[in-house]
Amino acid sequence: MIPPAGNGRDIPGRRQAEGTFSRTIYRKSAAIHAPRNDLRLLLHVLLVICLAASVPGIASAGTTEIRVVKYAVDGFTILAEKTVDYRWMEQNLRVYGDGSTHYYHQGPVFIDDPDPAKQAALRWNPEEDTNVQEKDMGAVKGTNLADLCNLVGGMGPEDVLKIRSSDGWYKTLPYKNVFEYSSREGPIIICWNKDGRYPDTGYTDGMRMVWFADTSTNPWGIHAFGVWDWHEAADEEYWYYYQQGNEKYPTTTGLSGMYISEILIYSQEEPTGSIKVTSTPAGARIILDGDETGEVTPFTLEEIPAGSHTVSVWKEGYLSPDEEWVDVAHGVVSPVHFGLEREFSSAIPGTGDTAMPGETRYDGEQGSLGVVTGGMSGNVTMLVASGASQVCRSGETLSYQIATDTLSSSPSQWARLYVFSHKGYTGDHALEVRVNSVKAGTPDRSTYHHADGRVSETLVFNVTPMVQATGAIEVSVRNPPGGNEWTIYPPVLLMLHHDDSEPMRKNWVAEGSGFIRAVEDYSPQDLANITITDFSGIQPGYSGAELVVIGTAPEISDTSFPMVIQNSVHIPGKYTHEEDGVWICRFNVTPHLTGYVHTEFIWKAAGPGDRSEVAPRVAILSISYPERPVTPTQDSGFSPAVNTTGPGPMDDGKNISPPTVPVPTSPSHGASEVPAGVVLQDEPFLSRIWRMIFWIFGIPFPGYETHGFVSGEEYSRDSDDLGGDIHPPDHQAPPTYPFTITTTPPGAMLTIPGLAETSVSPVTLFLPEGDYLLTAEMDGYLVNQTVVHLTGPQEITLVLAPGDTAQETEPPKTPARSRHGGLFITTYPGDLELSVDNKVMEGKSPLVLFGLKEGYHTVKATRTGAAAGKGESIIARVWVHHDAISVYELDFVGIRIDRLIRITDDPGTPTAFTLNGFYPLLRTPVTLDVPWTGSYITLIGEGTYTSFSIPDSMLSGSEFVLPPYPGNFHTIAIESSPPGAGIFIDGARTGNTTPSLVGGLSEGPHRVMVSLPGHIPAQRLVTVPRTNEEFIKGTISFVLDTYPCGPLRVESIPDGAAIYLDGIATGEKTPFSFSGIPLGVHQLTLKTGEISRSRDITIRPGNANRYMVVMEQ
């Protein structure tokens, strides 16, 4: 916090301590703030007079010691502090002045002239020959102000210094005039001796500021600090005038403050603390605010900005714990510890956004295979290593070969090596796998726990860069000395590669460690003998589909066979490999696909005596398309709102990663090739009826492709139910028709493949005749997709159904605990210019801001046209709570007198408290500026809020020792309209929402605030009476008004970009959904590494307000 450039004893220009104010009534209308009540002003004047007359601390007196303080950028946190008296200065610091040389300042030059320019020149008196010798400061000695600043770390070029006297006078000075002064102005000396007298022995003006100027600019050759010296040396905001009526006269005597008691440096340094991170076991990688730190536990992270931060750790072989929120305070080491649990299955990260984790499964539980990539293009090849399944004992190495003579010559886009182990004694092992003598790296792992305590595992290695198309691939599996026995099956290599000659194919891959026993009949309740997997995001228009399952078994009965329950249909499988404990089975699932496929693997027993045990490990769903399928969404289901050059072909999957190049996939030759549009024999009867109706009216049946492209141009397809020839377009521009689209509810994002722009409903588009696949998406609703046959002007309304927001096509929910909140800033008077974190705001006070990172923020209000010396701006540091809007007030009208109070706790241990009901937490011992009247502190305990009033009679410089609390704790009722607002007591979040009873309040003053997203917060200062009753009668009620706001969804390619709104950090990273963003134009900036992207966005009501930013170079 930088203080205003005030000069005199005028209180309105005073800095507001701790960034808090005593006013407790808040209004929305700026007009209510502006008038100044005459009675109120009179009372303020009387208060100042009474205090000046009755309080010795305000009376003029020489000072013998100076308190030097360096504040952080928040203007509140003390970085360093030191108090020294004049004796210590004289003995330990350089003494300026010899006790005989006199130093002079210059008083006002009272000359008037009709010509304003001439009058100003006369009053500035460059000759320095008027009213100088009369302003003799005496033969003084003292200490350089810069030397005193250096006691607490000095100043930086952007820092500002406030020097204050014991009677309330203050002056602000910049770095250059304190440290880089010119000879004509000289150093600023804090004088503690005049004519041999000290402040306590006759120097009654001391300690006093005197400029030790040189002798070069006056006619007498004396050390005179003239007004023109200061004009040339200082910026205009630091000039000082003696004001008489409407006339202003420059003077330097007004700069020579007496009774100096404090030197306050307002630096640009952030308050920082430390976080000590430990874990059991040690050696876990430390992640701070979502970013790797490069450190491992145990370690103390230092220089962490004060505020709330997330900390998590990661250690190979252990489950990732939930992240912890840590509040960092300046100079405090905050500990956080993680107890890690051994991981017996790891997440299988795979390659796509649809990756699902594998599971640790125990005997008797249902197993599942997790999808690691969905819809990836390519031809699938599976190669089983030659060799037998065998036991790998401690210290042994098993070797296998995988022949590659059948591989395609095209490069491999994705390769996974599977090592299947069976019935080892523990999951705590580290098999070393090498491919062509190169270590394969750390595997992803899924584990099954058998009833006898042993485990079977699937180890998955990403070997894409290690696979070549020529020569055999050597795979070695080593069990290091000290390991346990394992049965190892021949490894399997799965690859996807590109082949332009093949049709378009897409693949879904699921991995895990299932385990089932042969059963005679399928029962959905027999969970222990069913392994499941689920595939989603399947596009329409496919011509064939096949499911391939890779598994292991010690031995398989000749009469047993695998079976799949695919969307409630039994499908027998066909072996294509069954050797050395590894089996591969294929299933034709073409007739049974929908947009979501649920699969259950069972093993059909030959008879009652069949006890075969098998382990499904990998499942591959491959789907072929006769042409490029309609893909209105990519990956997460959202069509990026990015600019393109114009209409073009429908999305061909090029954005899916990996692989980075679209490649076809390959079901086996046994899969039936079914042309798009053919009615299958087992198609439901009702579906065939609908197909006939669509055919009668000439409308393509939904789910089939209706567009073709030639040389980048789009045209309609004329086809019958079986698919017909495509006719090239007429090169004349086709007519367009208005197509009006509305949704219930409105605000859905609308996409049509081939159109560059993404629209938001309601909207009217002008499109040529043809068939269009229309997709409507909205957070919290199922995706609505329909085919529209446009032959003329048309209107359509899509009704969106609430649905599972975890569905793949919907964006993820915003976390319950975000990293951002907001502020409601009011000023007295209103309609003032505001800036936050040095960013000028578009609106004026009162103003709602939302999307600010939790923690400290700098707020500045500027009052233009204020009288000189009265303080044109107030700058304060405020705290933003996550998921809440805090009330904050900047008051130019009220008169406030501060005093310095040191707050300590009798035991001497740090105690957390808030001042006057405002966050953040402070800790004893600490010296604070507090208002002379009505101040109190609140100790924040576990569910208790204990307040103590600071006596109004306590003088500046006094110590307030926290007393014991002898009273009772009470419960109050709080409600709001509308309900559901979060409740804060004395700045601390209670965790309660309205309406609610909040307990633990001591007798005395308490500040109650309620905050509800999308509403203006409200607060009230209440007093809990002294009583033996626990429940206080009555209810504290609030009416919360809304403010115009809307949602905002921000995504990026790739994910993980830091989000800034209007140049201010939000603390969030993409993808993220905000709510409550004020309507209007905002600047959206995303940053990742050295890359930064900015664009203007508009928040509209009833709109999805969804934006995608491409971060790649």
Distance CA 1009, CA 919 (A): 12
CA distance 1085 to 1111: 11
CATH code of residue 300: 2.60.40.1120
Question: Which of 333-347, 488-502, 1020-1034 is the least confident region?
Answer: 333-347
Considering the domain architecture, whether residues 413 and 316 belong to the same structural domain is answered as no
pLDDT over 90 percentage in the chain: 31
Q: Which of 15, 6, 2, 1 is nearest to 897 (CA)?
A: 15
By CB atoms closer than 10 A (0-12, 13-18, 19+), residue 723 is: middle
Q: What is the DSSP string of 643-687?
A: --SS--SPP-STT--SSSS-------TTS----TT---TTS-HHH
SS3 category, 230:
helix
For 924, list phi and psi in degrees, rounded to 5: -75, 155
Neighbouring CB atoms inside 10 A of 451's CB total 8
Residues 530 and 617 in one domain: yes
160-169, 360-369, 404-413, 689-698: range with lowest mean pLDDT: 689-698
Mean pLDDT, rounded, for 140-145: 97
Question: Exposed/middle/buried for 838, CB within 10 Å: 0-12, 13-18, 19+?
Answer: exposed
- Per the document, the length of the chain is 1113
Could you tell me the residue range of the domain that residue 183 belongs to? 63-266
Dump pLDDT digits (tens) for 408-419: 666 677 889 999
CATH of the domain at 585: 2.60.120.1200
Q: Is pLDDT of 107 > 80? A: yes
Question: Are residues 244 and 298 located together in one domain of the fold?
Answer: no
Q: What is the mean pLDDT of residues 491-506?
A: 79
pLDDT band at residue 756 using 50, 70 and 90 as cut-offs: low
Residues 715 and 619 placed together within one structural domain of the fold: no
Residue 131 belongs to some domain of the structure: yes
Q: How far is CA 742 from the centre of its chain?
A: 34
pLDDT of 356 higher than 70:
no
- The reported pLDDT for the residue numbered 754 is 65
User: Are residues 1069 and 974 part of one domain?
Assistant: no
691: exposed, middle or buried (C-beta count within 10 Å: 0-12, 13-18, 19+)?
middle
103-105 and 223-225 beta bridge pairing: parallel
Point out the domain boundary residue: 221, 237, 266: 266
Rounded to whole angstroms, how far apart are CA atoms 855 and 868? 34
| Distance set, CA 223 to CA 70, 128, 429, 588, 679 (Å) | 31, 11, 83, 102, 106
Q: Are residues 184 and 100 in the same domain?
A: yes
pLDDT value of position 657: 28
CA separation for the pair 506, 544 (Å, rounded): 11
CA distances from 274 to 146, 282, 301, 306, 536 (A): 30, 19, 5, 9, 45
Taking CA atoms, 265 is separated from 872, 902, 940, 1101, in Å, by: 20, 19, 30, 45
Q: Are residues 471 and 562 in the same domain?
A: yes
**What's the pLDDT band for 603 if we cut at 50, 70, 90?**
confident
pLDDT tens profile 1011-1069: 998 999 999 999 999 999 999 999 999 999 999 999 999 998 888 889 999 988 898 99
Burial 569-607 (b: 16+ CB within 10 A, else e): eebebeeeeeebbbbbbbbbbbbbbeeebebbbbbbbee
Q: Of the candidates 442, 350, 409, 443, which has an alpha carbon nearest to the alpha carbon of residue 658? A: 350
| Domains in the chain, number | 6
- Residue bearing tokens 């049709």: 503
One domain, residues 1020 and 1058: no
Residue 680 lies in a domain: no
Q: Are 187 and 131 in contact (CB under 8 A)?
A: no
Is residue 674 included in any domain, yes or no? no
Same structural domain, 154 and 72: yes
Six-digit token string for 307 = 């505020």
Q: What is the pLDDT of residues 183-202, one digit of tens each?
A: 999 999 999 999 999 999 99
pTM of the model: 0.47
Start-to-end Cα distance in the chain: 38
Residue type, 519: V
Least confident of 29-43, 134-148, 286-300, 567-581: 29-43
Alpha-carbon distance of 59 to 881, in angstroms, equals: 41
pLDDT tens digits, 777-825: 877 677 777 777 788 888 888 777 775 433 333 333 444 478 899 999 9
Both 1024 and 1082 in one domain: the answer is no
In single-letter form, the type of residue at position 759 comes to S
Average pLDDT, the chain: 77
Q: Is 299 in contact with 810 (CB distance < 8 Å)? A: no
- Tokens 């008489």, residue located: 244
Tell me, yes or no, whether 127 and 165 share the same domain.
Answer: yes
Look up residue 527 and give its DSSP letter: G
Which pair of structure tokens corresponds to residue 111? 């000359």
CA distance 926 to 267: 19
- pLDDT, tens digit, 9 for 90 and up, residues 33-53: 333 344 444 444 455 445 444
CB-based contacts of 210, cutoff 8 Å, min separation 6: 103, 105, 137, 140, 142, 188, 189, 191, 225, 256
Residue 424 lies in a domain: yes
- 713, pLDDT greater than 50: no
Domain's final residue, options 575, 605, 625 = 625
pLDDT of residue 122: 92
In a domain, 791, yes or no: yes
pLDDT above 80 (res 501): no
CATH value at residue 704: 2.60.40
Considering the domain boundaries, does residue 860 fall inside one? no
- State the pLDDT at residue 400: 92
Task: With respect to residue 853, please indicate whether it lies within any of the assigned structural domains.
Answer: no
Which is nearest to 593 in space by CA: 659, 644, 534? 534
Measured between alpha carbons, how far is residue 1083 from residues 684, 1061, 1086 in Å?
Answer: 52, 6, 10
Closest among 97, 101, 87, 105 to 198, alpha carbons compared: 87
**Euclidean distance between CA atoms 105 and 138, whole angstroms:** 10
Q: What is the CA radius of gyration of the chain?
A: 38
Contact of 574 with 547, CB cutoff 8 Å = no
Task: Say yes or no to pLDDT of 451 above 80.
Answer: no
Residue pair 779/811 in contact by the 8 Å Cβ criterion: yes
Task: Quick: pLDDT tens for 624-662.
Answer: 887 544 443 333 322 222 222 233 323 333 222 222 222
Q: Lowest mean pLDDT: which of 66-70, 453-457, 726-730?
A: 726-730
673 part of a folded domain = no
The reported pLDDT for the residue numbered 854 is 87
More confident call, 1067 vs 365: 1067
Q: Which H or E run contains 1050?
A: strand 1045-1053
**Residue that terminates a domain, selected from 748, 782, 799:** 799
932 lies in the same domain as 965 = yes
pLDDT above 70 covers a percentage of the chain that reads: 76
